[in-house]
């Protein structure tokens, strides 16, 4: 299977769709639970989803990303790098915005 194989692209998009479902589940649980200082489960899930989205996006062929130039691919990668490498300093507001605002926009732009 080549990088541009349509079935591979479909599988990656299916993964992204599934990550969106997980992000939406975190959002549905609410802001209060997300920011609970005694329970970081929702923030950890959100971090994982953002990292997984970036990994999947990197696996998409350049031709696909070029055809969807309205998606901020560089921003997805930058957000992932910030979250993945700034373990204790991650801005939880940034993370909340990523899953409540940006992720749904990405899904919509990809038709997912």
pTM score of the predicted model: 0.89
90 pLDDT band (50/70/90 cuts)? Answer: confident
109 touches 70 (CB < 8 A): yes
Kindly tell me if the per-residue pLDDT of 53 is higher than 70. yes
Q: Which domain holds residue 33?
A: 6-109
1 lies in a domain? no
16 lies in a domain? yes
- In tens, the pLDDT along 28-48 reads 999 999 999 999 999 999 999
Average pLDDT over residues 41-60: 96
Distance CA 48, CA 23 (A): 10
Report the pLDDT value the prediction gives residue 27, as an integer from 0 to 100.
98
Domain count, the chain: 1
Nearest Cα neighbor of 27 from 14, 43, 39, 40 is 43
């Amino acid at each position: 299977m080549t990088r541009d194989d349509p079935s591979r692209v479909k599988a990656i998009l299916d993964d992204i769709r599934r990550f969106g479902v997980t992000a939406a589940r975190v959002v549905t649980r609410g802001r209060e639970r997300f920011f609970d200082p005694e329970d970081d489960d929702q923030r950890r899930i959100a971090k994982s989803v953002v990292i997984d989205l970036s990994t999947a996006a990197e696996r998409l062929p350049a031709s696909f990303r070029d055809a969807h130039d309205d998606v901020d691919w560089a921003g997805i990668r930058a957000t992932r790098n910030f979250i993945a490498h700034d373990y204790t300093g991650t801005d939880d507001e940034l993370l909340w915005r990523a899953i409540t605002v940006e992720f749904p926009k990405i899904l919509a732009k990809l038709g997912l």
